[in-house]
Structure 1
Amino acid sequence: MHFQDTWLVVPCYNEATVIRDVLANARQTFPNIVAVNDGSADDSAAEIHAAGAHLVDHPVNLGQGASLQTGVEYARAQPGAQYFVTFDADGQHQVKDVVAMVQRLRTEPVDIIVGTRFGEKRENSQVPWIKRVVLQTVVKLSPTSRKLGLTDAHNGLRAFNKKVADEMDIRMNGMSHASEIVNKIAENDWRVSEQPVDILYTEYSMSKGQSLINGVNILADGIVARRLK
């Protein structure tokens, strides 16, 4: 199966330790990747370039939401781009899940597919307990997520078609962009579905983003996004 019409969008902030391997692995299946170096203080830009991905630089750190918007704008302008995937830089996301999600976009009446760690028959034990409690609390606090039937609104693995990419306009620069995207799904009547995915929690990824403080920030951003809707 060929994926010349698919673009992976990878936000990157200080991921020089792993980003080259993550991108090189993904490019074996998905040749078109744009990585947005979000003002990193390390060698992330050089590692992205070495991996053969398209590189877009933010001169200063703007946040993951801003990086995703920059990457989507770059990807949707490329000739032949039809499908788009937001993909984390730290090695948590699995290429096999992306393949399944893009295949569903090709064959099913759906505009956007959101990964879930809590779907039917999904083993919840893969998620650290603090993260699990926070993420499920965010969903409970979000009437929109419940209305759309989403169980894991803060999963960074999402696949969507050109219609969604063209209408994507993320304004929340921080982690609250995830709640904003959920609201946009409802506001724009994008046809949405979930895909059970496997998240690889390594010692590295745990140190980068699974702390209690990060969980509290996700929860707080979700509440803010709800109030700003």
Structure 2
Amino acid sequence: MEQFALVIPAYKPEETCKLTIEEAIKAGFSRVIVVNDGSGPAFEGFFDEISEFPEVTLLHHAINQGKGRALKTVFHHILNHKLPIDAIVTADADGQHLVTDMVKITKELEASPNHVVLGARDFSKADIPFRSRFGNRFTRLLFRLSTGAVLTDTQTGLRGIPVKYLPRLLDVLGERFEYEMNMLAALKKNYIPVSEVTIETVYLDDNKSSHFHPLRDSFHIYKVFLLYGFSGAASFLLDIGLFWLFVQLLRDESPEMFIIIATVVARILSSLFNYYINRNKVFKQGSKQSLLRYYILAAFIMAVSAASVHFLYAEWLGRGEVILKVIVDTILFIFGFVAQRAWVFRKE
């Protein structure tokens, strides 16, 4: 166990945090790094007590800066002091990670030293709080669509991280709870292998000790997905608006081809807008290859959209070609979302 350090970011911790530290030391953790993330004067006594353990290194933030920043503080500490450890195990301070599961993480790290190891909770149990069950399923779906990574638990705080990956993880954006989600996305982008081990799902007093705020922190976690959705929605509305405009202009001029022509012109203009937003605001990366890939994808989706609306259109729909296009393009939007993430804007 000497090659591992247990890392605990702590903000206004309860007595369960001290008990966890004591149990971890008994289990063999000879190095425990705790961050007092600006808990305030009322908690000075607590941190004074745990600092008396010779195995504990206590780091301080003058004010609360968030879990992501606390983890980065530890990463800096380990790298700056060149601590003789191979990996760290991160755990929450609320007592909901069992020491037996922390030991399971170290065993997996020993078996797979090049992997980041995640403790995965089982959310299918009946006693799981609804907000946790729903949040996990929703986030897991978005995460899979956005990164291509299939994980059981995207919000787990119990993680085993080899020290050699810490420099790359310091570059990951985020200061609070969103950092952990961004970290998982960075693992996928950097081709860092991930393993999962099943851990116990523990909620003390209906998870009331958690400092995770569903509304505020969910926004931080999902904002990249929300921005992508906004970009797609704005482009979608622009495309529909231009399609309607050109349909009105071309219906009488070219009754045989007005749907296809309107689709092509509207898609070219809206795609220019969409590429600019995605490259500069969503993915914040791009190259000549990504531009070429984007328009190959756009041409494919445009052809499928035009052909689908053209062949599905029937006279009995009257003027329902716009509604038909909305249905077709909604399906193609989901396909385009995944294709842009996996192919167009992938890391070179």
SS of equivalent residue, structure 1 residue 36: strand
CA separation in 2, counterparts of 1:165 and 1:144?
26
- State the secondary structure of the residue aligned to 1:73: helix
- Cross-structure match for 2:18: 20
Matches within 5 A, 1:72-221: 72-76=75-79, 77-108=81-112, 110-118=114-122, 123-143=124-144, 147-169=148-170, 170-203=172-205, 206-209=207-210, 214-221=213-220
Any conservation in 2 of the 1:7–1:75 contact (CA below 8 Å)?
A: no
Alignment gaps of 5+ in structure 2: 228-281, 284-348
1:56 and 2:59 aligned: yes
Aligned residue identity for 1:179: M
CA RMSD in angstroms comes to: 2.3
Unaligned runs of 5+ in 1: none
In structure 2, the CA distance between the partners of 1:209 and 1:190, relative to structure 1 (3 Å rule), is: same
AA matched with 1:58: H
Aligned to 2:8: 10
Deviations 1:65-106 (A, max 9, x none): 101111222234443210111111111001111212211121
> Which amino acid is 1:31 matched to?
S
Question: Structure 1, residues 119-171: CA drift from partner, whole Å, max 9, x if none?
Answer: xxx75334212211012111112236762211211110100212222322143
Query: 1:69 and 2:72 equivalent?
Result: yes
Q: Identity over the aligned pairs, expressed in percent? A: 23
Contact 2:14 2:94 in 1 (8 A): no
The offset of 1:47, in angstroms, is 3.4
Q: Which of the pair is proportionally richer in strand?
A: 1
Distance in 1 separating the partners of 2:53 and 2:187? 33
1:126–1:164 CA distance, 2 compared to 1 (3 A): farther
Partner of 2:83, secondary structure, is coil
Match runs of 1:217-228 below 5 Å? 217-226=216-225, 227=227
Relative contact order, higher structure (CA 8 A, sep 6+): 1
CA distance in 2, matches of 1:127, 1:73: 35
1:102 maps to a residue whose letter is T
Rg larger for: 2
How far apart, in 1, do the equivalents of 2:14 and 2:82 lie?
26
TM-score under structure 1 length normalisation: 0.86
Aligned residues of 1:134 and 1:216 also touching (Cα < 8 A): no
SS of 1:124's equivalent?
Answer: coil
* 1:40 is aligned to 2:43: no
Alignment check: 8 A CA contact 1:85 1:158 kept? yes
For residues 40 and 158 of structure 1, the distance between their equivalents in structure 2, rounded to whole angstroms, comes to 23
1:116, 1:36 → 2: CA distance? 24
Please give the alpha-carbon distance, in whole angstroms, between the structure 1 residues aligned to 2:188 and 2:62: 33
CA distance in 2, matches of 1:146, 1:171: 16
**Cα deviations by residue, 1:32-80 (Å, 9 ceiling, x for unpaired):** 1100000112324223314441100001110111011112222344432
Q: Which moved more, 1:129-138 or 1:77-86?
A: 77-86
